[in-house]
Structure 1
Amino acid sequence: MRPESTGIVHFGLGAFSRAHQVVYTEDAMLATGDRSWGVLGVSNRMRGVLEPQDYRYTVLERGEGAAAPRMVGALSGVVRGEDVPELLARPQIRVVTLTVTEKGYRHDPATGKLDLGDPEITGDLTGKQSKTVVGQLVHGLRRRVGGPPLTVVCCDNLPGNGEFLRGLVESFCHAAGLGALADWIGDNVTFPSTMVDRITPATTEDDLREAERELGYRDEALVVTEPFRQWVIEDSFAGDRPAWERAGAVFTADVEPWERLKLRVLNASHSLLAYFGLLLGHATIAEAVGDPVLRDACSGMITDDVLPVLDAPTDAVEYGRTTLARFANPALRHTTKQVASDGSQKLGPRLLGTATDLRTRGREPRWIPYVVAAWLRHVETTEDLRDPLAEELRTDPLRRVLPDDPDFRGQVLAAHRQLVHEDPRAVLKEVLDGRA
């Protein structure tokens, strides 16, 4: 369907957002007949792809229970980042959503704070035009002062992502000498936390050709995804919002248990499969989870490390089983290399928080040091390392990533020595045998 007007500005119009938030929004408009929630994407890259297609694209589900191919029309346009400040001044924009990945927030992964030493953040603080998401958001909110309230919904895999983003915005305001703006934001802007879930690999040329044969047309913005989808949202909105619950979203007073479950079970398992999968020569996550040793290692990590310190909102054991079954979907072709990217930003929320909680309770993590060590091997052996801290990681990979805990660091380095000198499969079997 086509929207009648725009109500949402969305940062980061990658495959995931087009398979998730935009689809939920279209379903909400279809369910209610309220077509005022068109999504205006912010993406320099996708603008040139989607504009010739009238901002329409196809969602192609793969796997058991897949729906028929679907043409999505909820996008009302795509703009550049420099257009954001003027857009956020418009009163009809009532919600901002973001999927810019962990690295897009320009934060220090060890502290979760805005990295004021980042050159682009420094440039945004001193320049007239912003390049970073946080800078663009702050300058847009500055233009909105005196206007209606706004809700900013972070949908990236970060603990307490709403409060996290609020903290970055406040830090930017104070660093820029905008204390009065920070006060206005505190009174007029809410930052609900969310948990999002839908496995959506980057679309490949093979996907495009295969879909063209199946559909009879070429769609450069095609999204290939799984049938499963989930969205849990903190019910803390400053004003109107789409009826996302009519599309299956869950609104709750506390997202944290859901968010922690996903980060520490699903995302942590994803990282284990990616780093050990690469060490063992597996090209895709489906191949990696099909390796009995890696599958057993995931189950072991969930049972030994995660569950003892996880207050789950549902059956975490069953959630883990379902997660591994979803990973085994061969039609998605989610590559281990893609999942392994940006590890410096992902290890903290996915793995290191669990390790800290275990040690706080007097327990030692069994598996997490090995996953971090496998990431270290990835850093050491990958020439085209995809990570915002790539240069730093070449010289001191642990300083900006691990907590200041000498004992845990020692465990990671011991595991790393094993992976350097022994076969990774034998190392994992040794850990598995030690559980008996």
Structure 2
Amino acid sequence: MSTPTVPGTPDAGTPAAGAPPRLSRALPGTPPAAPVRLVHLGLGSFHRAHQAWYTAAAPDAAAWGIAAFTGRRPDVAAALAPQDGLYTLITRRADGDDFAVLGAVSAVHASDEHEAYLGYLTRPEVAVVTITVTEPGYLARPDGRLEADRDVVVADVAALRADPRSAVASLPARLVAGLLARRAADAGPVTLLSCDNLPENGEVTRAVVTDLADLVDPTLVGWLETHVDFATSMVDRITPATTDEDRALVTAHQGYVDAEPVPTEPFSEWVVAGRFPAGRPRWEEAGVRVVDDVRPFEQRKLWLLNGSHSLLAYAGSIRGHATIDEAVADPACRAEVEAFWDEAAPHLELAGDAVTGYRAALLDRFANPRVRHRLAQIAGDGSTKLRVRILPPLRAERAAGRLPVGCASALAAWVLHLRGHGAPVNDPGADAARSAATAGDLATAVPAVLDTLEPGLGGDDALVDLVRERAALLVPDA
């Protein structure tokens, strides 16, 4: 992960005489491309700050290149292709920035390069498919099974039944298409490794893939049982969106042009459980924790970090803040976060310093003014995120006979967000919640919105009253 030496004369990619060269593997000191043995779905900043970073740091990185495919938009592939997949990781420490050129991504593709994707899956040496498409991309119902009646799923099933090599749109169908191609090529076992913020994400992946496979070709289900390892992981690294200021900083500091650098925080954690029958990089020697059960770590991260992130995204933006560091510095926001953590902590499987130390570390991470994690970025997809970040500790507290003020504060801020306060709504799955939030006054909206999160939740009168109170405190005239 060295910083390349910029040559004294411009290379062929230089836009004009005397201008800085474009980052590419032609620059001295950049790492060579490794042979592709990993495929990634959902190429974005987080993947490059996390899984690709760990892969680049593994002692056998030279044998494990990544072929990465974008999500909904091809922009990142278009930016990284001229750079041969290289990018600069900017680690924002409180006392300054560190820069490193990472080369684990050997090939970049837009999501619609379907034949290229199928081609990788037919190679026996391709051992792992990692995934970061965010929680809604799995198209899972609240019980974890596939939303088989979704229009995109119905269309994808019909396309794969007609031709197993058809281009498809949804993640479950893309995975099934790749596995159909792998079975046809007799390419051997493979691991699917979800790196999204879903509880038991490996089991969710197994469920939606198996359900869709059964709809397309029931004979594939038995093959999945013997050839596919659905691994589970917990991921943690705050990675804000890339800005023009980040690009300008890299050019000024490094002397080359990087169209897609990645800013991130110093902290990183990855906890993984899986069999990996076709092999994997020696991630554990790069700091990955390989365990038998990810759940305790996943639960702690989803509730304490992600849950408080969602709370701050809504409540903080309503109070006029733009970033996490601004929001957590607000005593009112900080008090709500601490209340939420106090409610969640007794129900975590980890205990002691594994919780108290983690909370203290989170406050330091959130307060880092150089990360600048925007609340509007975090606020997206709340209709999916709140189900796994806020509802589990809420249920546990209600089962214990308590009214959780912190959980209620998060729900109240989300209702207000849906009613037009704070960060703009960016949530394709929130149509029902948004309609409920705007169909009447706050007294009517709160129980209706809660019912869209979990049927019957709006019938908990004591909770509804508390959520209304917290909303009225935040926006008195809501």
What TM-score, normalized to structure 2?
0.83
- Between 1:98-107 and 1:335-344, the stretch displaced more is 98-107
- Between 1:151-160 and 1:214-223, the stretch displaced more is 214-223
- Which of the numbers 338, 354, 368 marks the counterpart of 1:315? 354
TM-fit CA distance, 1:148: 1.0
TM-fit CA distance, 1:68: 3.0
Secondary structure class of the residue paired with 2:272: strand
Unaligned runs of 5+ in 2: 1-30, 160-165, 437-448
Q: CA-to-partner distance for each residue in 1:24-48, whole Å, 9 max, x for gaps?
A: 11111xx23x522100001133211
- Which of the numbers 82, 100, 103 marks the counterpart of 1:70? 100
- Which of the numbers 388, 391, 405 marks the counterpart of 2:457? 405
Distance 1:125 1:275 in 2: 37
TM-fit CA distance, 1:97: 0.3
Is 2:262 aligned against 1:232? Answer: no
Query: CA 1:411–1:206 in 2, change beyond 3 Å: closer, same or farther?
Result: farther
Structure 2 match to 1:434: none
Q: CA-to-partner distance for each residue in 1:295-336, whole Å, 9 max, x for gaps?
A: 122112111x11121111652012111111101111111111
- Which of the numbers 205, 212, 234 marks the counterpart of 1:172? 212
TM-fit CA distance, 1:266: 0.8
- Which of the numbers 107, 129, 149 marks the counterpart of 1:96? 129
Structure 1 match to 2:192: 152
Structure 2 match to 1:280: 319
TM-fit CA distance, 1:186: 1.1
Q: CA-to-partner distance for each residue in 1:159-199, whole Å, 9 max, x for gaps?
A: 001011101101111222x2210110111111111111111
Structure 2 match to 1:262: 301
Is 2:64 aligned against 1:37? Answer: yes
Query: CA 1:411–1:344 in 2, change beyond 3 Å: closer, same or farther?
Result: farther
Secondary structure class of the residue paired with 1:194: strand
Q: CA-to-partner distance for each residue in 1:212-234, whole Å, 9 max, x for gaps?
A: 22222221110000111111101
TM-fit CA distance, 1:419: 4.8
Distance 1:62 1:53 in 2: 23
- Which of the numbers 333, 341, 344 marks the counterpart of 1:294? 333
Structure 2 match to 1:139: 177
CA contact (8 A) 1:63 1:227 kept: yes
Distance 2:335 2:471 in 1: 22
Structure 2 match to 1:2: 32
- Which of the numbers 15, 20, 25 marks the counterpart of 2:50? 20
- Which of the numbers 402, 418, 422 marks the counterpart of 2:469? 418
Structure 1 match to 2:442: none
Alignment of 1:361-372 (within 5 A): 361-372=400-411
Identity %: 36
- Which of the numbers 379, 394, 398 marks the counterpart of 2:434? 394
Distance 1:148 1:65 in 2: 48
Give the residue type in structure 1 aligned to 2:399: T
Distance 1:155 1:209 in 2: 30
Q: Work out which of the two has the higher radius of gyration on C-alpha atoms and give 1 or 2.
A: 2
Q: CA-to-partner distance for each residue in 1:53-92, whole Å, 9 max, x for gaps?
A: 1211000010147673100111111123323223211111
- Which of the numbers 355, 359, 376 marks the counterpart of 1:337? 376
Distance 2:62 2:462 in 1: 55
Distance 2:134 2:393 in 1: 21
CA contact (8 A) 2:379 2:425 kept: no
Distance 1:92 1:401 in 2: 42
Give the residue type in structure 1 aligned to 2:89: V
CA contact (8 A) 1:276 1:294 kept: yes
Alignment of 1:103-118 (within 5 A): 103-108=136-141, 110-118=142-150
Give the residue type in structure 2 aligned to 1:142: L
Distance 1:131 1:192 in 2: 23
Unaligned runs of 5+ in 1: 428-436
CA contact (8 A) 1:3 1:36 kept: no
Greater relative contact order (Cα 8 A, min sep 6): structure 1 or 2? 1
